[in-house]
Structure 1
Amino acid sequence: MRLGLDYAGGRPGGGAIAAAGYTFVVRYLSDGGPGLPGKLLTPAEADDLRANNIDIVSNWETTASRMLDGYDAGARDAQAARAQALACGGSAERPIYFSADFDATPAQQIPIDDYLRGAGSVLHPSNVGIYGGYWPVSRALDHGTARWAWQTGAWSGGNTDSRINLYQRIGFVRVGGVQCDVNEARTDDFGQWSKTSKGGEMQLTDTLTDAYGNPVTVGDILKWISFHADLTVDELGGPGSRTALPPDQKMTGHPALGGRTIVGAIAEIGQALKLPGFDPGRA
């Protein structure tokens, strides 16, 4: 069984985590509140974790009962969470868990489910996860509002849902001087960034989902990039004028695009499939 950590009061460092025998972390994406400065995953921390072969899993958490704010809150949080994950080298194709960090009642499941549906409207429902005790986690899985589940031993009454991907043990350890929770991976794919949706290296025939929920293959993306050799900064979704990218930034060829891997190129162009005029059939 793979064991990992989650932590909010500091950053133990990838070397200390690896030395302690843990192989992954669940790291927080947040709105940046000042109370816990070590809570938010940073690009530098993500680089350090990867350099020490520590897998990263995404969780969005602000206030404990944020999910009670419903659909619109879920959509806003998912947009912010995805942007932060991408800034740290994550992928839009990997799930994000959202926290119900309290003992939720059955009546509170209604806004919790609405929140998760809002998150799914941004991320796609297949990339939405929930963190919480046994009952809200099980209800979300039953209702189909979450496809990934990280259950905590707290608020669970000794019950464990057999469908969960991660289980957070009760109690703490100290790693690198930081108090951490210990987590068990209950499935091979539990949302770690190093996995693709198919559990291995991306192939030309693998399917991604565009910003509108339409399936498009990696091969389609590469053909489209090759077809549009004068791709501009605006078309990439970034700021600036409609000046063509410098030649050394053009991504051509396979399996590397200008020195970038397929996965890296897709991450770099971000949500490339929502670009105006994208049409896989055109290539």
Structure 2
Amino acid sequence: MSSTSHSSVHFSRRSLLRAGTIALAAGAVGTAAPQAFALGPVLGTVVDFSAGVPSSAALKAAGQMGAVRYVSKPRAGWMAGKPVTRAQAAADAAAGLAVASVYQYNGSDNPDWAGGAASAAQHAPQAIAIHKAAGGPTGRPIYIAIDNNPSRAQYDGQIKPYLMAFSTALKAAGYQVGVYGNYNVIDWCVRDGIGSFFWMHDWGSGGRIHPRTTIHQLPQNRQRTIGGVVCDINDVYAKDWGQWTPGGAAAPAPTAPAAPAHNSNPLNAVGQMSSQVQNAVPGLNLPQVSPEGVSFNGSSVDSKQIQAGVDLVQTVLGAMR
């Protein structure tokens, strides 16, 4: 295919302003959604654990912002880290740490969602009761765990009804909704309007991070032993990751390092996204975006490379549908 000169594919700032604005909005869809954009900076890390409970001092010394804790009953014989207690949450708060809540009782071999809406009718009241007993305020999300790599048929037939019923119960009690799942589950939930906080795991995600990810659970080879307990490490992309302290405000001040000031020019969001993808796949030669316009690296570009830039914006738009 014939190439086109570099100068002829340098688009004007005005022609891409609207596309940049839409791309930026993809990270903050919904009136209650946290300002997460997973192609942006990592603000810090939080842990999750089930085998035991690291001390608050150990978590603080390890540089953590806090922990995502279970608001579900422990399974017989193990999982001493379930559920979070008020004493534990208070100790964390005293150390400058925060807690977020997640419901998961069964493991991936017998998932909670398998019973559909009927199971949610049992699980949601338990989650709310344990969250409240630990001092969790209303207005905060409770993440609902989909700890699997499900098919679309499983999502449509069981997971979606489970999440919708669970969500209805949470909202009626004054809580927001979070979803723990892989890339596809988060993508389907975003399209179906389920949840506003998203905690992503890598199982079945194909190395991708969904742009609406609030926190991202890193692979098992990134686990750390803290205070004698093996912990999963999670990157945090939003100042509001669903955290709370006992009796505290709905959204306590984050203890993470301050994020870089956000540039109000929406084209920078598209540029940042392009740079992230370009770094991951150098051969794509994606467009470089700045307030002055859009250009490509190298001296020439063909229609396939132009289409790659278009596809980049369309990927972000897909997260809004």
TM-score normalised by structure 2 residue count: 0.59
Q: Any runs of at least 4 consecutive aligned residues in structure 1 with deviations exceeding 4 A, and if so which? A: 194-200
- Quick check: which one's helix share is greater? 2
1:123 to 2:123 alignment: no
| Secondary structure class of the residue paired with 2:244 | coil
1:144 to 2:144 alignment: no
- Equivalent residues of 2:89, 2:98 under 8 A apart: no
1:45 to 2:88 alignment: yes
Instruction: Flag structure 1 segments of 5+ consecutive residues without an equivalent.
Output: 201-283
| Secondary structure class of the residue paired with 1:16 | helix
Counterpart of 2:236 in structure 1 is: 185
| Secondary structure class of the residue paired with 2:231 | strand
| Secondary structure class of the residue paired with 1:67 | helix
1:155 to 2:204 alignment: yes
- Equivalent residues of 2:73, 2:82 under 8 A apart: no
CA distance in structure 1 between the aligned counterparts of 2:169 and 2:204, rounded to whole angstroms:
29
Q: How many Å apart are 1:71 and its aligned residue?
A: 1.2
Counterpart of 1:212 in structure 2 is: none
Counterpart of 1:4 in structure 2 is: 46
Q: How many Å apart are 1:197 and its aligned residue?
A: 5.3
Counterpart of 1:78 in structure 2 is: 124
One-letter code of the match for 1:134? Y
Counterpart among 21, 27, 37 of residue 69 in structure 2: 27
Percent of aligned pairs with the same amino acid: 29
| Secondary structure class of the residue paired with 2:132 | helix
Q: Structure 1, residues 210-250: CA drift from partner, whole Å, max 9, x if none?
A: xxxxxxxxxxxxxxxxxxxxxxxxxxxxxxxxxxxxxxxxx
- Counting only pairs closer than 5 Å after superposition, residues 210-221 of structure 1 correspond to structure 2 as none
Q: Which moved more, 1:126-135 or 1:86-95?
A: 126-135
- Counting only pairs closer than 5 Å after superposition, residues 186-225 of structure 1 correspond to structure 2 as 186-194=237-245, 196=249
Q: Which has the higher contact order (CA 8 A, sep 6+)?
A: 2
Larger radius of gyration: 2
Q: Structure 1, residues 27-70: CA drift from partner, whole Å, max 9, x if none?
A: 01113322312232122211211111111000000113211211
Q: How many aligned residue pairs are there?
A: 200
Counterpart of 2:99 in structure 1 is: 56
CA distance in structure 2 between the aligned counterparts of 1:52 and 1:106, rounded to whole angstroms:
43
- Equivalent residues of 1:97, 1:129 under 8 A apart: yes
Counterpart of 2:114 in structure 1 is: 68
Q: Structure 1, residues 57-107: CA drift from partner, whole Å, max 9, x if none?
A: 000001132112111222321111111011011012110001111111111
- Equivalent residues of 1:75, 1:120 under 8 A apart: no
Instruction: Flag structure 2 segments of 5+ consecutive residues without an equivalent.
Output: 1-42, 254-321
Aligned-residue RMSD, C-alpha? 1.8
One-letter code of the match for 1:182? I
- Cα 1:190–1:19 change in 2 (3 A) is same
Q: Which moved more, 1:69-78 or 1:111-120?
A: 69-78
One-letter code of the match for 1:118? A
Counterpart among 101, 105, 125 of residue 151 in structure 2: 105
CA distance in structure 2 between the aligned counterparts of 1:199 and 1:37, rounded to whole angstroms:
27
CA distance in structure 2 between the aligned counterparts of 1:198 and 1:37, rounded to whole angstroms:
27
